[in-house]
Structure 1
């Protein structure tokens, strides 16, 4: 019997602070019981998936072993600018002149994630890869 994905866990230095950033990214609130300084914070997404943030004592070292790719509801380039505005840092801009591609960001604690084209933008062009998988 297969298993269902329940959460994506982030080990971090500031669970509440990082969860607030990701709350802005995904447009959904933290759990109403989460408070600044809590060692754990959670964002429940309407899909049933949870983003789980937990304080860990060790710092992030090296490349992420799990990579999150986001598909925006609207145009990719507008989402890129919105994410810059909420504190994401561009690591690599892989956008192409023909409109394909993606942008690699880092969250405030250095966890990398990508923003792909929207479904509408993708329907107008050829799929390319992101993070080693054919997800763009």
Structure 2
């Protein structure tokens, strides 16, 4: 059995990307962070670690986050909110019956999916 300590993102601008994910999740950036740090930690469950690398993203992520609303917001409301803070829609897989997801890109092009929360699903 393991405990996931960090999910790590290679990126060009760690502070900027961490700021997006901090706003997306509501989790705080580690208080000792400087804007020009090569590693920036967002404190959550699990923690999100953003590390500066010289090369850019070239292919689809092999691992991605699936996220849902956590405070009564719907999938559709979260898609709108995330787009408002810098994410873009890559692929809309929502179905008329309410199932499905939306694949979005963070400001550096990392894919993540916005899914329905359990409280949105009909019994």
TM above 0.5, yes or no, is yes
Which residue in 2 is equivalent to 1:34?
A: 33
Instruction: Kindly indicate which of the two structures has a greater share of residues assigned to strand.
Output: 2
Please give the residue correspondences for 1:105-124 in structure 2 after superposition, counting only pairs within 5 Å.
Answer: 105-122=104-121, 124=122
Q: Decide whether the 8 Å contact of 2:74 with 2:120 is kept in 1.
A: yes
Give the TM-score normalised by the residue count of structure 2. 0.94
RMSD value over aligned CA atoms?
1.0
SS at match of 1:3: coil
* Deviation digits for residues 14-65 of structure 1 (CA, Å, limit 9, x no counterpart): 01000000001111110111121110100111x3x11000000111111101
Structure 1 segments, 4+ long, off by >3 Å, are: none
| Long gaps (5+) in structure 2 | none
- Structure scoring higher RCO (CA < 8 A, sep ≥ 6) equals 2
Are positions 1:67 and 2:67 aligned together? no
